[in-house]
């Protein structure tokens, strides 16, 4: 089973204006939440670890996960659901978050650790859960426990700079997480922020110095992705789109599909033995899934019967 930790929230997506007031559509979201949904739709056993609110928004969040074949492994909390105000310009979203004292931040290390059974194969974490606060410390500690018990650790920083109050502390945490990671995916925008002031080549060298991950991928939006293999980067173009609707959830779908491919097509214990051809096959599969998502409104990952494996 792939276990996923990190935020769940309601995306309040601006859809227009009426009488000088903004019109918004409430859509379940959050990067790890989206990733869990994308894994479940592709037929791989997946459990979502983060608490979900007992409020009506939480009910919607839980219902959508269950409908996508995701096991709810976290508690239901009386605290409210986190919110994200989302504006989309030219298909690209921007976010403002409201998550103080909310349900998804009520994580408990002992409760999380109960999920580290023989079923656990991968633990994935990233995004808002690592930005700061007690919950960030809990997720980092849980990743360490998972690693110690032989579970592969997957990381997608998915940097949200507007929520990072202490950039130095955050960068140090991400470097510690990179050191634990077996599977690492980050975007070119993540790389630029994490290694501010460096040219991309320098930033990539710095990033590689902080990780021993056996699978390392850099995504570059419409330019595709690059994968590290035997001392050099290898580029893969983006999958063709029939029509771009928006990019909401594209990176989450890509990451989820990497994990699906790795869990189905190879032995996770042999990640270090993957050939370049295998890695490119993984990129192709993940890129196809991300493209299907971009052809739809919001995060709406494809089901397994919509993909060519």
Could you tell me the pLDDT band of residue 266, with boundaries at 50, 70 and 90?
low
CA distance 283 to 278: 9
Q: Is 5:139 a contact under the CB 8 Å cutoff?
A: yes
Say which residues have a Cβ less than 8 Å from residue 59's Cβ, sequence separation at least 6.
none
pTM equals 0.93
Phi, then psi, of 47 in degrees rounded to 5: -125, 135
pLDDT of residue 19: 55
- Average pLDDT over every residue of 83-103: 82
Q: Which domain holds residue 196?
A: 2-306
State the DSSP H helix or E strand holding residue 49, giving kind and residue range, or none if neither.
none
Q: Is 88:248 a contact under the CB 8 Å cutoff?
A: yes
CA distance 82 to 77: 12
CA distance 151 to 233: 27
In whole angstroms, what separates CA 29 from the centre of its chain? Answer: 11
Beta bridge partners of 217: 185, 227
CA distance 217 to 306: 24
- Average pLDDT over every residue of 119-144: 97
CATH of the domain at 262: 3.40.1190.20
Q: Is 185:219 a contact under the CB 8 Å cutoff?
A: yes
**Which two three-digit tokens encode residue 80?**
């409210």
What is the count of structural domains for the chain? Answer: 1
User: Of 9-13, 78-82, 158-162, 244-248, which one has max mean pLDDT?
Assistant: 78-82
Give helix 276-294 / helix 250-265 axis angle, nearest 10°: 140
Q: Kindly tell me if the per-residue pLDDT of 115 is higher than 60.
A: yes
pLDDT of residue 298: 76
pLDDT, tens only, 209-255:
999 999 999 999 889 999 999 999 999 998 888 888 877 789 999 99
pLDDT, tens only, 140-192:
999 999 999 999 999 999 999 988 999 999 999 999 999 999 999 999 999 99
pLDDT above 70 covers what percent of the chain? 95
**Which two three-digit tokens encode residue 105?**
């931040």
Say which residues have a Cβ less than 8 Å from residue 118's Cβ, sequence separation at least 6.
none
């Amino acid at each position: 089973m792939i276990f996923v930790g990190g935020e769940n929230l309601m995306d309040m997506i601006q859809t227009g204006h009426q009488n000088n007031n903004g019109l918004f559509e409430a859509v379940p979201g959050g990067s790890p939440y989206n990733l869990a949904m994308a894994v479940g739709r592709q037929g791989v056993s997946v459990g979502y670890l983060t608490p979900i609110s007992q409020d009506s928004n939480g009910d919607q969040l839980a219902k959508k996960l269950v409908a996508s074949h995701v096991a709810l492994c976290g508690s239901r909390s009386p605290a409210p659901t986190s919110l994200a105000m989302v504006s989309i310009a030219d298909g690209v979203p921007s976010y403002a978050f409201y998550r103080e004292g909310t349900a998804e931040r009520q994580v408990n290390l002992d409760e999380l650790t109960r999920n580290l059974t023989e079923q656990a194969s991968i633990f994935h974490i990233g995004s808002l859960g690592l930005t700061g606060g007690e919950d960030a410390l809990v997720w980092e500690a849980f990743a360490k426990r998972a690693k110690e018990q032989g579970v592969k650790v997957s990381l997608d920083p998915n940097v949200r700079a507007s929520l990072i109050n202490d950039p130095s502390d955050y960068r140090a945490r991400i470097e510690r997480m990179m050191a634990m990671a077996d599977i690492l995916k980050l975007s070119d925008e993540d790389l630029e922020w994490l290694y501010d002031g460096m040219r991309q080549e320098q930033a990539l060298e710095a990033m590689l110095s902080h990780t021993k991950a056996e699978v390392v991928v850099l995504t570059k939006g419409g330019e595709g992705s690059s994968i590290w293999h035997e001392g050099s980067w290898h580029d893969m173009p983006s999958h063709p789109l029939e029509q771009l609707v928006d990019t909401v959830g594209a990176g989450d779908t890509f990451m989820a599909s990497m994990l699906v491919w790795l869990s189905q097509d190879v032995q996770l214990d042999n990640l270090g033995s993957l050939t370049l051809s295998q890695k490119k096959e993984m990129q192709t599969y993940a890129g196809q899934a991300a493209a299907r998502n971009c052809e739809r409104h919001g995060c709406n990952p494809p089901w397994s019967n919509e993909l060519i494996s």
